Structure 1
Amino acid sequence: MTRKKNSGDFLKECMADALFILLRTKSIEEITVSEITALANVSRITYYRNFTSKEKVIEFKLDKLISQWIHEHPRKESASAYESSLSFFQFFYSIHDIVQTLIRANLSVMLLNRLILKFHDFNTPDRNEYYRQIFISFGLCGIILTWMDNGMKESPEQMAETVSRRFFPQPEP
């Protein structure tokens, strides 16, 4: 049973990788399911068994990457703003080709949506905390997208320093 699940994930990864390759030269509207399946070397039946749209393929890829990062870098309550920011920027640096493909394809809002769903539990009864989490999520995503769109001239370390110092200042002792 585990083997079947892993083989299904492998096929989904192949289709997602194929779609991202195609997105480098074509808009999502111009890409056909036949092109995705041919490049991924899978059948159309396999595609439709796993996905209902090209957007779902992108969501699968983003969810998988974000979940993997969250699993490998569990949130530490004792982490400083710099440490948390650095981990965040290093993650995005590691997937910059995917994010830049989304930016060029005018699909970066999909990344924002996936981040919000994965990173925060917005079901808090405290409305102020809810709005704070939304503000931070949108702000960080905007910084990430702008950084990438501008060619990532700063290192992840420089970005973490800027974000932690400017947006999460620590009071002087």
Structure 2
Amino acid sequence: MRAGMDIRILESKEKIAEAFFKLLEKFSFEEITISEITGLAQVSRNTYYRHFRNKLSILEFLSDELIEDYFFEVQQLREKDLEHVLALYFSFWLRHKSFVRVLEKQRLQGLLLDRLRQKLPDFMKSSSLPWHEKNGGKRELIHQLMIGGAWNIFTYHLENKKAIHPELLSQELIREMKDTLEKDAQRLFGADL
């Protein structure tokens, strides 16, 4: 549960969000009405508007909940090297692929990635990951590249129905990055890595 949020408020928001997502699985985002959402959730319009501005804010809420769950799982990792974090990233989103696929079908998957990108700097400040140093944001561009790159790899494998286990995918990615950087360091950067 989100820190500081009343349990009744959270339950009410989750009811609305679940109803909306059920509708989103069957109908287009544009077709779904507030009345349909409140009817399925069995809440009043006042309750709906007390918690959400519009349908997009429901997706932001659902995305934020997932992202917070992901960040929590990262903090719980025993081995916090890049290989294990990437494996967790791929396995986490694979567990939630139905959410990702619905967003993709609705052409709204960019919303999830934007929310992840927006929340990353705050997570980095409190993270115990070794590459999330308190260095004045000097690595923020690399972090953003990693988030976007890992997301693209995940969705590529999801779209192509590649059955690569998340741990093997992580190992393969790191091996390819290392090989490429070692082979091309002189040509790309004018120095050995």
Same fold (TM over 0.5): yes
CA-to-aligned-CA distance 1:7-58 (integer Å, 9 cap, x gap): 1111111111111111112111111111111111211111100000111100
Question: Retained in 2: the 8 A contact 1:103–1:145?
Answer: no
Report the equivalent of 1:133. Answer: 143
**Paired residue type of 1:58:** L
**2:166 corresponds to:** 156
Q: 1:49 — aligned with what?
A: 50
Q: Where in structure 2 are the equivalents of 1:55-94 lying within 5 Å? A: 55-74=56-75, 79-94=80-95
* Preserved CA contact (<8 Å) 1:81 1:168: no
Counterpart CA distance in 1 for 2:75 and 2:137 is 24
Note if contact 1:103-1:149 (Cα within 8 Å) is conserved in structure 2. Answer: no
Say whether the 8 Å CA contact 1:85–1:164 is kept in structure 2. no
Inter-CA distance 168–17: structure 2 relative to 1 (3 Å threshold): farther
CA contact under 8 A between 1:22 and 1:31: conserved in structure 2?
Answer: yes
Q: Deviations over 1:65-86 (max 9, x none)?
A: 1112212331779622211111
Cα-to-partner distance string for 1:101-136 (whole Å, 9 max, x where unaligned): 111110000011011122235997455x23222221
Provide the residue aligned with 1:101 in structure 2: 102
Matched letter for residue 34 of structure 2: V
Distance, in Å, in 1 between the alignment partners of 2:161 and 2:31 is 26
Give the residue type in structure 1 aligned to 2:141. Answer: Y
Q: CA deviation at 1:145?
A: 2.1
Structure 2, unaligned stretches of length 5 or more?
126-134, 183-193
- The 1:54–1:77 alpha-carbon spacing in structure 2 relative to 1, beyond 3 Å, is same
For structure 1, list consecutive stretches of 5 or more residues without a partner in the other structure: none
The alignment covers a number of residue pairs equal to 169
Specify whether residues 168 and 91 from structure 1 end up closer, same or farther in structure 2 by C-alpha distance, changes over 3 A only: farther
One-letter amino acid matched to 1:102: L
Q: 1:116 to 1:168 in 2, by over 3 A?
A: farther
SS at match of 1:29: coil
Distance in 2, Cα, partners of 1:37 & 1:133:
39
* Cα distance change, pair 139–59 in 1 and its aligned pair in 2 (3 A): same
Q: Which has the larger radius of gyration?
A: 2
What secondary structure does 1:120 align onto?
Answer: helix
1:48–1:159 Cα change, 3 Å: same
Q: 1:152 offset after TM fit, Å?
A: 4.9
Is this contact kept in 2: 1:16–1:61, CA < 8 A?
yes
RMSD between aligned residues: 2.8
Taking structure 1 as the reference length, the TM-score comes to 0.84
Q: Which amino acid aligns with 2:36?
A: E
Percent of aligned pairs with the same amino acid: 30
